[in-house]
């Protein structure tokens, strides 16, 4: 049974839970089993927020991450909170602008310009979609085409072009990083 665990972490209002739902939908459409759990502070914006995906070809029997294969960190508030769950095989992707204290340890960490890229596209609110594209390219968690289909299906149609551009920018960002 092949399994993996992914944590999307940052602060409330960054679209982390949406990103996790988008990836979960794409993986489910490909026949994978996915359990999702969310944790967030009871504020609408700014509090610590995270969403975990436990993905399996068999039964995903426990929804909480215990050993992270991938972690996406979009805000300083979440930078150190999950380090004990990382292993030497883990890949941590951090927003270069919003995460100053990049997690350190016996795992691979990349600081990438997610927010800067989204701002360059005209709207920093698609930072999560840029990061999802980079995760797709670097982690090879899900093929890009079904993931983009899921992005477009789960976001407002009036933002389709922006989300398509954000996802493509994230893919390109991930493809230019050394493996």
Cα-flanking dihedrals φ and ψ of residue 135, to 5°? -60, -40
User: Any idea what DSSP says for residue 82?
Assistant: T
Among residues 27, 46, 45, 43, the alpha carbon closest in space to that of 35 is found at 27
For residue 63, the model assigns a pLDDT of 64
179 has a pLDDT exceeding 60: no
| CATH homologous superfamily for the domain 3-176 | Pyruvate-ferredoxin oxidoreductase, PFOR, domain III (3.40.920.10)
What pTM was estimated for this model as a whole? 0.92
Residues 104-114 as b/e (b if ≥16 CB within 10 A, e otherwise) read eeebebbebbb
Q: Band of the pLDDT at 132, cuts 50, 70, 90?
A: very high
Query: Structural domain boundaries of the chain?
Result: 3-176
* Structure-token pair, residue 100: 């100053």
CA 72-31-69 angle, 5° bins: 25
- Spatial distance between the Cα atoms of 113 and 47, rounded to a whole number of angstroms: 22
Query: pLDDT per residue over 17-48, tens digit each?
Result: 999 999 999 999 999 999 898 887 666 566 78
| Mean pLDDT across 129-140 | 94
Q: Which of 106, 103, 102, 104 is nearest to 89 (CA)?
A: 106
Q: How far apart are CA 65 and CA 37, in angstroms?
A: 9
């Amino acid at each position: 049974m092949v399994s993996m665990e992914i944590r999307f972490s940052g602060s409330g209002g960054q679209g982390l839970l949406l990103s996790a739902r988008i990836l979960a939908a794409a993986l489910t459409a490909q026949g994978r089993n996915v359990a999702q759990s969310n944790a967030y502070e009871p504020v609408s914006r700014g509090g610590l927020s995270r969403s975990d995906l436990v993905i399996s070809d068999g039964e995903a029997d426990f929804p909480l991450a215990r050993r992270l294969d991938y972690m996406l960190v979009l805000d300083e508030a979440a930078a150190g909170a999950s380090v004990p769950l990382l292993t030497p095989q883990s890949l941590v992707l951090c927003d270069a602008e919003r995460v100053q204290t990049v997690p350190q340890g016996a795992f691979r960490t990349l600081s990438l310009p997610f927010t800067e890229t989204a701002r360059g596209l005209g709207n920093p609110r698609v930072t999560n979609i840029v990061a999802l594209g980079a995760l797709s390219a670097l982690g090879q968690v899900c093929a890009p085409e079904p993931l983009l289909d899921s992005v477009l299906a789960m976001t407002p149609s009036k933002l389709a072009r922006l989300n398509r551009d954000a996802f493509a920018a994230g893919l390109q960002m991930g493809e230019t990083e050394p493996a």
